[in-house]
Structure 1
Amino acid sequence: SPFTVVIRLEGIETSVSDRLGHLLDLTGGDSLARTRSVKLWQRIRDVQPIAEKPFEIWKVSCAPSDAPKVVAALDPRFEVRVMADWAGGLIWVGGSSAQIGPALRQAVAGLASGFAMLVRDVSVTREKVPPFQPLTGAHYELHKRVKASFDPLGVLNYERMHEGI
């Protein structure tokens, strides 16, 4: 399989040992010593498996049940790395294709909720694809009114996040 699944068990030591035993029996997987585990989870927290490559990085938030649809929207020809956390509700996507952003945006647009945000741009993606998920009509108008209420002159980062706001 091209995937690595990492599961962290936490809680009372007896409970963790019991659950670990059952998981190892079911999967034939491995467990990590505490020091290696701490280092691995720090790498995951910092998105290092993606960040260490010269990739643009996208952060996708969606319902965990929608995660497979979002990942499936990525063309298999794209050179991508994908990390999922929060049971699939948080997906990090890194890759070098300029088509990743539009593919993610299209996938998220078809969902009931969620967003895809460009976190790191290594080429000119930001010039072609807005870094933040475009707002729908009602959300756009709400953002516009809220921003106008505390920045009536439009001097604070005008159009930094969304066009016209």
Structure 2
Amino acid sequence: MTTFTPTTAAEVLDAVRWAAAEEQPLEIVGRGTKRGIGRPAQTKHAVDLSGLTGVTLYEPEELVLSARAGTPLAEIEALLAGRGQELAFEPMDYAPLLTGKTSSDGKSGTVGGALAANLSGPRRLKAGAARDHILGVHAVSGRGEAFKAGGRVVKNVTGYDLSKAMAGSWGTLAVVTDLTFKVLPRAETETTVALRRLDDEKAVAAMAAAMGSSAEVSAAAHLPELVAARVAGGTLGSDPATLLRVDGFGPSVAYRVAMLSDLFGGHVETIDTERSRALWVGVRDVAPFADGTDRPVWRISLAPSEGWKLVAALRMQLAVDAFYDWQGGLVWLRLEDDPEAELVRRLVRGLGSGHATLVRASAPVRAAIPVFEPQHGALGALSARLKSEFDPRGILNPGRMATV
């Protein structure tokens, strides 16, 4: 197996041109923190982007940052924090769930991986995901052609933005070499309001009430019994916890926390800034299921009012661990050895539009079943046309998202 380790965009172009000419499939990888998502690689060669690093532009006053694709997210987040700024889409770190290691162990994902996986976190309800913050990219298509899309200004609207097409493509369309993101000021402070001992249905109703209020809640999650004890060092205890985050300037946060307390009749707990931030990192990075095993973990997105119904239906047939983010619309499930793909997807379809991704499982399991939600009809045809345009020979991460 040949592994190319480019340190410049020109070297990436050379590697892909060779692969295209020889029709040799390539695995595209950064620091490997998300390598376990998707079907196992079906390649003999790889392009390792972990040496393609460095912030190339940072203009805090213009809220713009550019970096090479292999730059660790932890490095970028530290740079932004030093200027009171952040990536507002709050990208999750898959390393704890998939590798058992955190960014402090040197296993942080990369900025290129954040776009490829279209990462987001608890703030997605308000701020969207990586695709909503990308301004521009430089990349190399599977044809062996370099291209760029977008620009370095927030108001760039020069037609269809190909940079957004890279979001969620998992390296199957092009090898992104450089990215430009918009950044935003970081909240001065935050407080989490916690409601305790609600069952899943009542918790979803409470989250909906909070999100529908004028308290400007930036994140809403529910941790059922026992799951709550697996975040923030167990400081929440094991009782169910329904969590509502309020952030911004100090006086505004205090006013809005009081508003939520009134909304729920004063039956709330408050969690201060330091503990709150640690708590939401745990929710973001799926800490309750970061157990060092390869027991199947599903990431399921559907209407916020339907998530608890899915879990209730599954619990009639299986032993299921679950918790909820995005006001109940993002459900994280942990099963035992069998991922029960057919059952999970049948129940999701029965609740309307939604999709299920098998985020963690052993390599033989991932090779045997569709890991990503199968695409049919117009959406499947569109995906096929994009693949044909960007990578007609199918050399980039073949089979990762679907059988080929």
Q: Shorter-chain TM-score: which interval?
A: 0.7 to 0.9
**For residues 95 and 47 of structure 1, what CA distance do their matches in structure 2 show?**
14
Q: Is the 8 A contact 2:298 2:360 kept in 1?
A: yes
1:141 to 353, 357, 381: 381
Match of 2:281? Answer: 42
Contact 1:51/1:57, CA 8 A, preserved across alignment: no
Which amino acid in structure 2 is aligned with residue 52 of structure 1? D
CA distance in 2, matches of 1:62, 1:73: 15
Structure 1: gaps spanning 5 or more residues: none
Which of 14, 17, 20 is the matching residue for 2:251? 14
- The one-character-per-residue Cα deviations of 1:54-76 (angstroms, maximum 9, x if unpaired) are 33221112222332333233224
Asked whether 1:110 is paired with 2:350, we answer: yes
Amino acid at match of 1:51: A
- Map 1:71-82 → 2, pairs under 5 A: 71-76=311-316, 78-82=318-322
Question: What is the aligned partner in structure 2 of residue 98 from structure 1?
Answer: 338
Q: Is this contact kept in 1: 2:310–2:351, CA < 8 A? A: no
Would the alpha carbon gap of residues 157 and 11 (structure 1) be closer, same or farther in structure 2, given more than 3 Å must change?
Answer: closer
For 1:20, what is the secondary structure of its paired residue?
A: helix
Q: Find the aligned partners of 2:343 and 2:285 in 1 and give their Cα distance.
A: 24
Q: Which blocks of at least 5 consecutive residues in structure 2 are unaligned?
A: 1-196, 198-224, 226-239
Higher-helix-fraction structure = 1
Amino acid at match of 1:10: D
Q: Report if aligned partners of 2:304, 2:328 keep a CA contact under 8 Å in 1.
A: yes
Match of 1:79, SS state, is coil
Q: Which has the higher strand share?
A: 2
Shift of 1:156: 2.4
The structure-2 alpha-carbon separation of the partners of 1:71 and 1:53, relative to structure 1 and needing over 3 Å to count, comes to: farther
* Number of residues of Structure 1 aligned to a counterpart in Structure 2: 164
- The equivalent residue for 1:153 is 393
Query: Which residue identity does 1:133 align to in structure 2?
Result: E
Confirm whether residue 85 of structure 1 aligns to residue 339 of structure 2: no
The answer to whether the 8 A contact 2:261-2:267 is kept is: yes
By how many angstroms is 1:133 displaced?
Answer: 0.6
